[in-house]
Structures are given as structure tokens and as C-alpha cells.
């Protein structure tokens, strides 16, 4: 089939799905309630279904009363039974795939079940919806006249007890429908390569001669790939390599700290950025408008949503609300029930609703990645936005960062210690620190109160990381590529101390009044 004709047919087919989305846009509560009932009926004869009495469970309130909120540690015994091939444990259809997921330095891996239903009705459906929404907003798109450069995880698939495990991206690539595979680059063989640095070189060699029209991957790792493409080709920007590039689909980490660097790589106002929100547990939300920083929560992927307000999270006052009980402007932890057999599972992410008609969100961080040692309740959304502003005003660029508390010691007040790798250093570190501090104050009233007259918190302290520090730290844990990322915020100092140790002579803390050679 000629490529222009294929582009026309594919875009027409994808646009049809947009009209199907109108059902959950108009009737979100009804769609979610019906979905929950279908999940309960489907799993009523599983071990979990019998334990919690899914048979005859016909409303949300009863579901909420009977089924407890769970973390991975709570369901691990069921997961292990299923991985050994035992059927009907938490989902009635066979679970062949498990997405291997773990914390950055946690040696104990999680194995998230991926059912046939979740592959088809969640992950693959979301991929088509991402394109549907894009084509609906950009009718003149020529996306399918070329290929999408995908940058997935660097883990191969492994067989264990007649089941398979690996990065979610590897599982998806290994099961892609033909239409998605033929429109993607690099080949599956290269995409599934295990060793990150060898794979990176292979991707560059295979793709620089392709007609690439879109990119898909995590911003931090995609930036590594794209800069190496420019190094290899000697070009000034990516349009000199791939002239027909029109959009970058990104997710996994906040895009704001990298936005200016991407604008230099893609110096056309017409180039678009579309954010997605997916994880091993499911695909949750997609940017549905051009030039927006809000994501549309997708309600018909076999996922039933609940939310815990973060001001009650982990306390005796903890409450759980369904989708129709959320409010805009509040920070929530996400709880999901899925068509892969996760029941009221706490995934560890936090979001804030920007709209309830339709339901749009912003991802704000992780339930474990925050700093609240002094009551400042600092979350990733705060640090990302403050860094963005400080970089814009001081003309610098960052590669990565992490933040940890400085604990009070006797009469010494506490504070926050930052470790930042700059791609372009600020000319005046004192000015940068003040900008960062002022930005945090403007975004977080609790931080501002603790910083008032240095009452509880001193000025932030900044360490400058040597080039490649964060890359080397991740490499020591075999965490290069894919969804792996540096922990941005921590209530403890273990991550920071490890990195400072690797930073060696470069560890030069700066606080207000200090001067640093950069």
C-alpha cells in the first residue's frame, strides 16, 4: 500500500475511536461503576473473589467495605503462586506475563501481572487512543508517512515457571500488533537488547537513515539518545537528521526540567509535545489537547479508580473516595482495581485534578518521594516547577538532581541539601540558590512558613555533581534506560550520601554567601 494512502486510512480509523471516548466523557460515573461490576463478576470464582465475597457484590460501598487497600507486600504471595503457574488466583484467565518493576536501589523486584485483557484493552488500546487524540487535534498530520522512534527498556524477557517477565516496554514490544511494529523503529531485535550502551549505538545506526516522524520515550533517556545522534551526525538540530519529525510522546518523569533543552533540539514552533501517564500497572491518562500540561484520565481501560487525599494518607483519618468524590486542587494517592487482577492496589503515585468535567489530572509525585521532616510537605511538583523557573531566570540547564533533608543537630537548624548535575552552569550560584528558594516559597506555603526568618529551615544547600554522576550511579545498580530514574526527593539521606561519595572531590556544598568555581 502506498505510504500516503496508508497514512490517510490509519488517521481516519484512529479518529473513529475519538467518538467512542465521548461515552466516558459524558457519563464518567456510570462507566466506572459498570466497569467495577464487570471486574467483580469476571473474578468472582477466583481465590481472591471467594475470599472477599465478589459473588453478589453489586455496589461500590460494599466493595469498599469488604476489600482492603493493598500494597505489593500484601499481594506478593498471590503473585508468586500465579508466577508458578497456579491458575485462578486473582484473575480467571491465565497470566503469562509479569512486568518486572522495582525501586531504584531495591534489590527485591516486583512482578506486576499483565493479563491478555490488560494488554489488549489497556496498553494497546491506550497506544491507539494516544494517536487518535493526536490526529483529532492535528488533522494535517503526516505521522504515518514515516516511523516512530521508540525508546523502551533495556531488559530482555526471561522465562520462569512457564511465565515470562521483563520490562513492561519489552512485553509490549514482544506482543505488538503488526500495524504498530511496521510503523516503528528500531527493530524488535534491537529494541529488546539487554545492554543499554550497546543498544544505544545500535538504535542510532539503524534509525538515522529512517524517515522518523515521531518519538516516544522517557525524556531523560531520550535526551541521551538524541544528543548522541547529533554527536554522531555532526548536525546542529534533529530536523537536520529527520526533517519530518512532528511530535514527541513522552512520560515517566516530569518534562519541565528538560523542556528548554528539547526546544533547542527541535527549533520549530510547529513541533508538538504530548504527555502520557503509564506504568507497569496500567495506562492511565493521555494529553488530549495541543499545548496543554493536563492529562485526560481514561476511564474505559479496565481500570477502576479510587483516591486517597494526601492530607489524610497514612493517618488514622485516612479516607478513600471514588472518582466522583474527588475535588480539584487537592493532592491524591491513586488506588486501582484492574483487569489484570490488582484489587484496590496502591501504586505509589500522586495526582492533582485540574478539572472534573472532564476528569483531567497532573502527576505530582510519589507517595514515598517527598520531604516532610519539618512539616514542609515538599513534593516533586514543587521542586520541578521551582527548578524550571530558576533555570529560566539564571540561564542554566540541568541533567538531573536529588534532594534530601539536613537533620537538626543540637542548636543547628534543618534544611534541604540538593545535588544537581548542570548541563549549563549558572553564572552565579548564590543567585541561583535564591531563585530556587523563592520559587519553592511561592509554590508551597508550608515550605514558606518554615523558611520564614530561617525559623526552622535554613537556606537550601547545593552540591554540584560532576558530569555523568547520576548516569554512573544508576549504572552501578544496572538501572540504565527504560523507566528507571533517579529518586528526586527522599525523607532520608541514604541516596544522597551514596551519590556524594561517588562525586568525590566534586562535592562542593554551596549555601547563601558561598562562592563556587563552576
Tell me: pLDDT of 179 over 70: no
CATH code for the domain defined by 126-286: 3.40.50
- Going from N- to C-terminal start, the domains of the chain cover 126-286, 370-510
- Cell 528507571 belongs to 484
- What's the CATH class of domain 370-510? alpha beta
Q: For 482-496, what is the mean pLDDT?
A: 84
Give the contacts of 225 (CB within 8 A, at least 6 positions apart): 151, 200, 203, 204, 217
Residue 155's pLDDT is: 57
Tell me: pLDDT of 101 over 50: yes
Do 126-286 and 370-510 fold alike per CATH? no
> Which segment, 274-278, 376-380, 513-517, is predicted with the most confidence on average?
274-278
pLDDT digits (tens, 9 = 90+) for 286-299: 999 999 999 999 99
User: Between residues 513 and 199, which one has the greater pLDDT?
Assistant: 199
Split at pLDDT 50, 70, 90, the class of 7 is: low
Residue 102's pLDDT is: 58
Q: Which three cell numbers stand for residue 228?
A: 548522541
Percent of the chain whose predicted confidence (pLDDT) is above 70: 91
- Residues linked to residue 361 through DSSP beta bridges, in sequence order: 295, 353
Tell me: pLDDT of 212 over 50: yes
pLDDT digits (tens, 9 = 90+) for 330-373: 999 999 999 999 999 999 899 999 999 999 999 988 877 778 88
Q: Which three cell numbers stand for residue 152?
A: 523502551
Q: For 438-465, what is the mean pLDDT?
A: 90
Spatial contact of 333 and 307, defined as CB atoms under 8 Å apart: yes
What phi-psi label fits residue 175: left (phi over 0), alpha (psi between -120 and 50 degrees) or beta? alpha
Split at pLDDT 50, 70, 90, the class of 274 is: very high
pTM score of the predicted model: 0.82
Residue 45's pLDDT is: 97
309 sits in which H/E element: strand 303-309
Residue 168's pLDDT is: 86
Lowest mean pLDDT among 62-76, 234-248, 357-371: 357-371
- Residues linked to residue 276 through DSSP beta bridges, in sequence order: 286
Q: For 446-463, what is the mean pLDDT?
A: 88
Rounded distance between C-alpha atoms, residue 157 and residue 146, angstroms: 28
Residue 8's pLDDT is: 60
Rounded distance between C-alpha atoms, residue 56 and residue 89, angstroms: 19
Split at pLDDT 50, 70, 90, the class of 79 is: very high
Tell me: pLDDT of 376 over 90: no
Lowest mean pLDDT among 14-18, 53-57, 85-89, 465-469: 14-18
Amino acid at each position: 500500500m502506498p505510504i500516503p494512502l496508508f497514512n490517510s486510512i490509519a488517521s481516519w480509523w484512529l479518529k473513529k475511536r475519538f467518538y467512542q471516548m465521548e461515552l466516558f466523557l459524558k457519563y464518567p460515573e456510570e462507566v466506572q461503576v459498570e466497569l467495577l461490576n464487570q471486574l467483580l463478576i469476571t473474578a468472582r470464582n477466583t481465590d481472591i473473589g471467594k475470599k472477599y465475597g465478589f459473588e453478589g457484590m453489586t455496589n461500590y460501598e460494599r466493595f469498599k467495605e469488604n476489600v482492603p487497600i493493598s500494597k505489593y507486600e500484601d499481594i506478593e504471595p498471590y503473585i508468586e503462586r500465579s508466577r508458578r503457574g497456579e491458575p485462578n488466583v486473582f484473575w480467571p484467565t491465565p497470566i503469562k506475563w509479569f512486568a518486572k518493576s522495582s525501586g531504584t536501589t531495591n534489590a527485591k523486584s516486583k512482578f506486576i501481572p499483565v493479563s491478555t485483557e490488560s494488554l489488549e484493552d489497556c496498553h494497546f488500546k491506550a497506544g491507539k487512543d494516544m494517536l487518535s487524540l493526536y490526529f483529532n487535534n492535528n488533522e494535517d498530520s503526516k505521522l504515518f508517512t514515516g516511523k516512530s522512534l521508540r525508546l523502551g527498556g533495556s531488559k530482555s524477557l526471561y522465562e520462569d515457571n512457564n511465565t515470562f517477565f521483563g520490562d513492561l516496554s519489552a512485553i509490549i514490544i514482544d506482543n505488538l500488533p503488526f500495524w504498530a511494529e511496521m510503523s516503528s523503529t528500531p527493530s524488535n531485535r534491537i529494541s529488546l537488547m539487554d545492554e543499554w550502551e550497546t543498544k544505544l549505538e545500535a538504535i542510532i545506526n539503524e534509525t538515522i537513515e529512517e524517515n522518523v516522524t515521531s518519538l516516544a520515550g522517557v525524556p531523560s533517556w531520550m535526551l541521551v539518545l538524541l544528543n548522541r545522534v547529533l554527536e554522531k551526525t555532526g548536525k546542529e538540530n534533529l530536523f537536520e537528521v529527520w526533517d519530518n519529525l512532528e511530535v514527541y510522546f513522552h512520560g515517566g518523569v516530569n518534562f519541565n526540567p528538560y523542556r528548554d533543552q528539547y526546544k533547542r533540539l527541535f527549533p520549530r514552533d510547529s513541533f508538538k509535545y504530548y504527555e502520557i501517564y503509564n506504568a507497569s500497572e496500567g495506562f492511565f491518562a493521555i494529553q488530549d489537547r495541543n499545548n496543554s500540561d493536563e492529562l485526560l484520565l481514561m476511564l474505559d481501560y479496565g481500570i477502576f479508580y479510587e483516591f486517597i487525599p494526601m492530607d489524610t494518607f497514612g493517618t488514622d483519618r485516612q479516607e478513600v473516595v471514588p472518582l466522583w468524590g474527588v475535588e480539584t486542587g487537592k493532592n491524591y494517592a491513586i488506588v486501582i482495581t484492574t483487569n489484570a487482577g490488582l484489587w484496590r492496589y496502591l501504586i505509589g503515585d500522586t495526582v492533582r485534578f485540574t478539572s472534573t468535567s472532564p476528569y483531567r489530572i497532573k502527576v505530582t509525585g510519589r507517595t514515598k518521594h517527598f520531604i516532610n521532616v519539618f512539616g514542609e510537605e515538599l513534593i516533586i511538583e514543587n521542586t520541578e516547577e521551582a527548578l524550571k523557573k530558576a533555570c529560566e531566570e539564571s540561564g542554566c540547564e540541568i541533567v538531573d538532581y536529588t534532594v534530601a533533608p539536613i537533620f537538626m543537630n543540637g542548636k543547628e537548624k534543618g534544611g534541604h541539601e540538593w545535588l544537581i548535575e548542570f548541563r549549563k552552569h549558572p553564572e552565579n550560584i548564590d543567585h541561583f540558590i535564591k531563585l530556587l528558594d523563592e520559587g519553592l516559597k511561592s509554590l508551597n506555603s508550608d515550605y514558606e512558613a518554615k523558611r520564614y526568618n530561617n525559623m526552622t529551615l535554613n537556606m537550601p544547600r547545593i552540591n554540584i555533581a560532576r558530569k555523568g554522576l547520576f548516569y554512573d550511579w544508576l549504572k552501578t545498580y544496572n538501572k540504565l534506560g527504560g523507566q528507571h530514574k533517579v529518586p528526586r526527593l527522599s525523607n532520608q539521606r541514604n541516596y544522597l550520601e551514596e551519590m556524594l561519595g561517588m562525586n568525590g572531590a566534586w562535592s562542593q556544598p554551596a549555601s547563601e554567601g558561598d562562592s563556587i568555581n563552576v
